[in-house]
């Protein structure tokens, strides 16, 4: 594609040289990835500024540069006011607006996003639609699995991925949309058909600085649905039990389908029964009522299933297909995942890393535990410090024994993180064990018949971030080995 065609509908820019005859073979924002004939776009990121790597991009074969401040280069430079927005625009142009050819579903909220992508993926596949998924754990195109670094990748990666999905006959793409991505413009140009809101609790205040700003960022997904009623129908799905639901509903002109348990909702769960082996409830919907008997335990799972149902109904999936899928799903790795080696006590690994999600998981365990509840939990380094004592308070208020340990300390001293957690805690039902492996082993050694051990915070992650390194660490595998060692020492 010629460079002037890429900019054909972009009105305000300046160039150092004519661009009519320049052919663009690709677009890159990482100078190390630039190949001969690529257009390099300088992005000022959170820690790295692409304007500093123009020479490397040119040496690697860049045919032109897009920048937002003066630079020196021996290839044409196009100056724009905001390269982040320009990147999204050019990526859409280059890949021929691929999200227009998909049913695109975006899910935002503090908790439940990953589970929602899994539930919806199973529902649509059950309906024999080919799907694409972009989330925390991975990206999928049909059955192909591709690793991702961020919950929501940048606009260039997104548009390229959407194009691959379209070219591979994917009809529905389901993606987690983080507050960072919305605030940083990573999803500019993505044409969403359904926006889903799960809930909002304290998280990412290291970035947003206030709950008000966190809320503002989340609502962008709904305001970006558009402000017209032409073309394809669009929908918003909102948790009516969440205190912020009205803000999200008012952020879009499109039809809103609500879900919930406590308040009157379009899709509502009633007569709920929760056990260690799953949940059952009657689901009331605009398309009729059905009984759901799911292997997913906990009230939070009921909320996720209600949200998935409301979303699927917006996409015209029949209710009997939704029911069949919800009743056969296996859930998500690292989300309330049991570790069973034949021991007489329960061990659960969960991603819960916010006060709200930890409270939900502990209360769910409380519904079925026969003995004591042990929780192993820490807090991440280089992240919101204000939630550390909140996490510790939830753990000591609800669990019988809390073992505070290292999570992903990153560049912080783990001791300082642990000190922040226990500061102000008045309960005495906790111990501190900085070594995460030893903390998990301690909890499992302490557990007796009928007890439950919750290992919280990392869930599906298979690494621990210490300093600038990602070292192999898997809560599930550590728990398995600890259980086996205990059973060997104390055979039945």
Residue 113 domain boundaries: 98-326
- 270 shares a domain with 158: yes
Nearest-angstrom CA–CA distance, 412 and 112: 28
Span 107-133, mean pLDDT?
A: 94
Residue with tokens 């100056």: 79
For the record, the structure tokens of 293 come out as 């008997």
Span 322-349, mean pLDDT?
A: 91
- 197 shares a domain with 263: yes
- 76 shares a domain with 196: no
CA torsion through residues 152, 408, 454, 203, sign: negative
Is pLDDT above 90 for 323? yes
Is pLDDT above 60 for 286? yes
The pLDDT score that the predictor gives to residue 333 is 84
Residues composing the chain? 492
Q: pLDDT > 70: what percent of the chain? A: 97
What's 222-262 look like in SS3? Answer: HHCCCCCCCCCCCEEEEECCCCCHHHHHCCCCCEEEEEECC
Q: Kindly report the CATH number assigned to the domain that includes residue 25.
A: 3.40.1390.10
Q: Which of 37-41, 83-87, 222-226, 438-442 bottoms out in mean pLDDT, i.e. has the lowest?
A: 222-226
Structural domain includes residue 331: no
The pLDDT score that the predictor gives to residue 490 is 85
Please, are residues 133 and 175 in contact by the beta-carbon 8 Å criterion?
yes
Span 1-6, mean pLDDT?
A: 92
**Closest to 379 (Cα-Cα) out of 322, 434, 298:** 434
Please, are residues 102 and 142 in contact by the beta-carbon 8 Å criterion?
no
- 31 shares a domain with 9: yes
- 111 shares a domain with 25: no
Q: Helix or strand or coil: residue 446?
A: helix
Q: Kindly report the CATH number assigned to the domain that includes residue 297.
A: 3.40.1190.10
**Closest to 107 (Cα-Cα) out of 122, 118, 92:** 118
Is pLDDT above 70 for 209? no
- 122 shares a domain with 77: no
Nearest-angstrom CA–CA distance, 353 and 375: 12
Q: Regarding predicted confidence, which is higher, 53 or 179?
A: 53
- 164 shares a domain with 305: yes
Residue with tokens 């600890």: 482
Phi, psi (deg, nearest 5) at residue 14: -125, 150
- 264 shares a domain with 126: yes
pLDDT band at 208 (very low <50, low <70, confident <90, very high): very low
Structural domain includes residue 175: yes
State pLDDT tens for residues 48-90.
Answer: 899 999 999 999 999 999 999 999 999 999 999 999 999 999 9
The residue from 69, 94, 119 where one domain ends is 94
The pLDDT score that the predictor gives to residue 149 is 65
Nearest-angstrom CA–CA distance, 333 and 461: 9
**Closest to 444 (Cα-Cα) out of 370, 376, 395:** 376
Nearest-angstrom CA–CA distance, 6 and 8: 6
**Closest to 32 (Cα-Cα) out of 7, 65, 56:** 56
Residue with tokens 């390194």: 469
The residue from 269, 291, 326 where one domain ends is 326
When the pLDDT of each residue in the chain is averaged and rounded to a whole number, the result is 92
Structural domain includes residue 188: yes
- 319 shares a domain with 226: yes
289's enclosing H/E stretch is strand 288-294
**Closest to 355 (Cα-Cα) out of 325, 390, 382:** 390
Span 456-479, mean pLDDT?
A: 95
Structural domain includes residue 470: yes
Phi, psi (deg, nearest 5) at residue 323: -60, -50
Q: What is the CA radius of gyration of the chain?
A: 24
- Paired with 65 in beta bridges are 40, 77
Span 132-143, mean pLDDT?
A: 89
Q: For the chain, what is the largest distance between any 2 Cα atoms, rounded to a whole number of angstroms?
A: 81
Is pLDDT above 80 for 276? no
State pLDDT tens for residues 6-55.
Answer: 998 888 999 999 898 999 999 999 999 999 999 999 999 877 899 999 99
Nearest-angstrom CA–CA distance, 90 and 277: 50
- How many separate domains does the chain show? 3
Q: Kindly report the CATH number assigned to the domain that includes residue 368.
A: 3.90.190.20
- 40 shares a domain with 23: yes
The pLDDT score that the predictor gives to residue 332 is 83
Is pLDDT above 70 for 184? yes
Structural domain includes residue 332: no
Structural domain includes residue 321: yes
Please list the alpha-helical segments (H only) found in 62-210: 83-94, 113-126, 155-167, 179-184, 205-208
Span 134-142, mean pLDDT?
A: 86
Is pLDDT above 80 for 204? no
Is pLDDT above 90 for 473? yes
Span 441-456, mean pLDDT?
A: 97
- 398 shares a domain with 255: no
Q: Helix or strand or coil: residue 130?
A: coil
**Closest to 141 (Cα-Cα) out of 167, 115, 178:** 167
Nearest-angstrom CA–CA distance, 243 and 211: 13
Nearest-angstrom CA–CA distance, 365 and 456: 13
Is pLDDT above 80 for 230? no
The pLDDT score that the predictor gives to residue 147 is 77
Phi, psi (deg, nearest 5) at residue 78: -105, 120
DSSP string, 185-211: TTTTT---SEEEE----S--HHHHSSH
- 357 shares a domain with 455: yes
Cβ contacts of 238 within 8 Å, gap of 6 or more:
196, 197, 245, 248, 249, 256, 257, 258, 259
The residue from 326, 361, 382 where one domain ends is 326
Please list the alpha-helical segments (H only) found in 267-352: 299-314, 319-326
The pLDDT score that the predictor gives to residue 424 is 86
Is pLDDT above 80 for 203? no
Structural domain includes residue 471: yes
Phi, psi (deg, nearest 5) at residue 15: -125, 150
Residue with tokens 């501190």: 432
Please, are residues 273 and 286 in contact by the beta-carbon 8 Å criterion?
no
Q: Regarding predicted confidence, which is higher, 67 or 181?
A: 67
The pLDDT score that the predictor gives to residue 152 is 58
Span 269-285, mean pLDDT?
A: 92
Structural domain includes residue 416: yes
**Closest to 133 (Cα-Cα) out of 101, 103, 91:** 103
The pLDDT score that the predictor gives to residue 491 is 80
pLDDT band at 416 (very low <50, low <70, confident <90, very high): very high
């Amino acid at each position: 594609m010629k460079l002037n065609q890429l900019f054909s509908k972009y009105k305000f820019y300046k160039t150092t040289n004519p661009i009519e005859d320049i052919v663009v073979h690709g677009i890159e924002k990482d100078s190390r990835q630039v190949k001969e004939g690529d257009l390099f776009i300088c992005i000022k990121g959170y820690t790295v500024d692409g304007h500093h790597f123009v020479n490397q991009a040119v040496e690697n074969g860049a045919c032109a540069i897009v920048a937002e401040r003066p630079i020196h280069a021996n290839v044409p430079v196009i100056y724009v006011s905001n390269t982040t927005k320009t990147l999204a625009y050019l990526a859409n142009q280059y890949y021929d607006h691929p999200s227009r050819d998909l049913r695109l579903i975006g899910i935002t909220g503090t908790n439940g996003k990953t589970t929602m992508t899994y539930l919806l993926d199973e529902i649509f596949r059950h309906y024999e639609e080919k799907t694409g998924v972009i989330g925390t754990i991975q990206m999928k195109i049909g059955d192909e699995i591709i690793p991702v670094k961020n919950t929501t990748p940048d606009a260039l990666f997104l548009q390229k991925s959407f194009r691959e999905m379209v070219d591979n006959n994917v009809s529905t793409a389901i993606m987690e949309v983080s507050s960072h991505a919305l605030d940083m413009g990573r999803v500019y140009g993505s044409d969403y058909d359904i926006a889903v809101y799960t809930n909002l609790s304290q998280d990412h205040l290291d970035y947003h600085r206030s709950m008000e700003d966190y809320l503002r960022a989340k609502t962008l997904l709904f305001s970006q649905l558009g402000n017209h009623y032409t073309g394809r129908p669009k929908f918003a799905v909102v948790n009516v039990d969440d205190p912020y639901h009205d803000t999200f509903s008012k952020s879009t002109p499109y039809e809103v389908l609500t879900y919930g348990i406590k308040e009157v909702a379009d899709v509502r769960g009633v007569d709920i029964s929760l056990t260690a082996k799953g949940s059952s409830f009657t689901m009331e919907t605009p398309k009729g009522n059905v009984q759901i008997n799911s292997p997913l335990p906990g009230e939070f799972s009921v909320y996720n299933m209600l949200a998935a149902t409301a979303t699927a109904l917006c996409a015209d999936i029949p209710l009997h297909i939704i029911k069949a899928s919800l009743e056969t799903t296996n859930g998500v790795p690292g989300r309330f995942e049991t570790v069973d080696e034949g021991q007489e006590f329960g061990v659960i690994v969960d991603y819960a890393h916010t006060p709200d999600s930890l409270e939900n998981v502990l209360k769910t365990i409380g519904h079925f535990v026969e003995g004591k509840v042990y929780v192993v939990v820490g807090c991440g380094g280089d992240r919101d410090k204000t939630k550390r004592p909140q996490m510790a308070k939830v753990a000591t208020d609800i669990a019988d024994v809390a073992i505070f340990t290292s999570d992903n300390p990153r560049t912080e001293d783990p001791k300082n993180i642990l000190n922040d957690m226990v500061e102000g805690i008045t309960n005495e039902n906790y111990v501190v064990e900085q070594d995460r492996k030893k903390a998990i082993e301690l909890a499992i050694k302490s557990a007796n018949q009928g007890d439950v051990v919750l290992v919280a915070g990392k869930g599906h992650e298979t690494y621990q971030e210490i300093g600038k390194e990602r070292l192999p660490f898997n809560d599930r595998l550590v728990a398995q080995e600890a259980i086996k060692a205990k059973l060997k020492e104390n055979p039945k």
